[in-house]
């Protein structure tokens, strides 16, 4: 007697626990793909904006002009945001220095203030870029085990059915085993893209962080030449 062992039939005929596992895995996979797509767009925009901003910054354009153009050209972009934080702190320090008779002390304290502003902005941007990556890592590490749980549960049910019917033929065993193995397949389908995306995004994040840290150092060198010491 022919049996329909298509994926859809196996899912529809699966037990409640196995179906719950499959639904959970599908939801995890869907959320993972949403995060992957959003991160891909965010990281691509961040890299493009960083390259464009760096070109403008190092082209000799006046810093006040660069600052004024950021809201229109680079809305909420990481490297321009870091520059804004540092340069606004520099302008605040410069105004205080122009009103103070102890310019040397203000200059020394001002560099520390600018450095702290850059570090705080860098931390905020890294937190934004790193958001939801932990979810991808969690899905990648736990989905195979969730699928394995569904598989084990399905196999146990299959063996219980064999014990009750006392029918050990392959025809009787195959549907239950196949139904159970679908859970493992779904676990891998959810886990593999999440792991690949997490590794890629982590590598991209390290490169972007390195570029931002390098910009911070170079920006501080420029500002230090404008501070009175």
For 57-67, how does the pLDDT look when each residue is reduced to its tens digit (9 = 90+)? 988 888 888 89
Per the structure block, which two tokens stand in for 37? 């797509």
Mean pLDDT of 125-154: 92
The pTM score is 0.83
Residue-level pLDDT at 159:
74
Cα separation values, 112 from 9, 61, 86, Å? 66, 25, 11
**Residue 199 in this model has a pLDDT that exceeds 70:** yes
Which has the closest alpha carbon to 6: 175, 221, 143, 201?
Answer: 175
């Amino acid at each position: 007697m022919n049996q329909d062992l298509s994926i859809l039939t196996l899912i529809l005929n699966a037990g409640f626990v196995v179906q719950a596992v499959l639904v959970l895995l599908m939801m995890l996979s869907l959320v993972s793909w949403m995060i992957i797509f959003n991160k891909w767009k965010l990281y691509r925009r961040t890299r493009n904006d960083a390259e464009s901003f760096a070109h403008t910054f190092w082209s000799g354009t006046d810093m006040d002009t660069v600052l004024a153009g950021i809201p229109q050209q680079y809305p909420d972009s990481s490297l321009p945001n870091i520059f804004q934080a540092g340069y606004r702190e520099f302008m605040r320090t410069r105004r205080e220095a122009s009103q103070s008779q102890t310019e040397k002390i203000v200059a020394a304290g001002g560099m520390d203030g600018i450095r702290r502003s850059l570090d705080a902005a860098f931390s905020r941007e890294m937190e934004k870029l790193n958001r939801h990556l932990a979810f991808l890592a969690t899905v990648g590490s736990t989905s195979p085990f969730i699928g394995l749980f569904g598989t084990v549960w399905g196999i146990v049910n299959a063996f219980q059915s064999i014990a009750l019917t006392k029918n050990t033929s392959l025809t009787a065993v195959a549907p239950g085993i196949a139904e159970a193995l679908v859970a493992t397949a779904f676990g891998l389908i959810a886990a593999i893209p999440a792991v690949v995306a997490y590794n890629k995004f982590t590598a991209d994040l390290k490169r972007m962080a390195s570029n931002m840290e390098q910009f911070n150092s170079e920006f501080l060198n420029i500002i230090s030449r404008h501070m009175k010491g």
